[in-house]
Amino acid sequence: MNHEFPCGTRVLDFVATLRARREEQPYEFLADAGSLDSWWVESGVRTSGRVTDDADLVAAIELREALYTVFWHRLNGASIPEGALAVVNARAQDPPVSPALTARGVVRDGDPTACLADLAREAIEIVGGEEGALLRECSRPECTTIYLDRSRGHRREWCSMQSCGNRAKAAAYRARVRSARILAT
């Protein structure tokens, strides 16, 4: 696998293809059209369809940034900018990916435009529905990943325990050990 899926929701995992947004050099997972193609398949958005080209990549990044803006503003209780809403709503109007049941299982066929339409629709359902209240941003300062906190008690702190959660816990442990050494001397 070339991509990570820490959020448990396809559209938020798509938004998380740009990590550490507030850092001087954020990490871009969609460096080229081929990486976007692999994201479509690995995420399960589609299993087949037209190969992604550079124009599709530009459209995907435009939608991703509009989605981030929409989610961030909803998360922070701020008014969502009209420009971001227009991009998301326009993409949601495109035809979706077509699922089909075959002898091998479900096949999801769609071009990149259909994939983006599915993601835009998913975002609209989250932000416009009850799940919008579950949006959280990872507590690790370097991480800017937004996720849905579906945990019991709604106390989830990190986008992923495997990445940010482990790093935060390891750093806290090292700090406690260092502190204990200083006190012991």
Could you give the number of structural domains in the chain?
Answer: 1
Pairwise CA distance, residues 112 & 35, whole Å: 13
**Residue 140: domain span:** 10-184
> How far from 32 is each of 39, 52, 54, 94, 166, CA to CA, in Å?
11, 9, 7, 23, 30
Q: Domain for residue 138, yes or no?
A: yes
Q: Domain for residue 2, yes or no?
A: no
Q: What is the pTM of this model?
A: 0.86
pLDDT mean for each 10 residues of the chain (185 residues)? 85 95 92 95 92 96 98 96 98 96 93 97 97 90 88 75 62 65 72
Q: What is the pLDDT of residue 132?
A: 94
Q: Residue 35's domain is classified under what CATH number? A: 1.10.3300.10
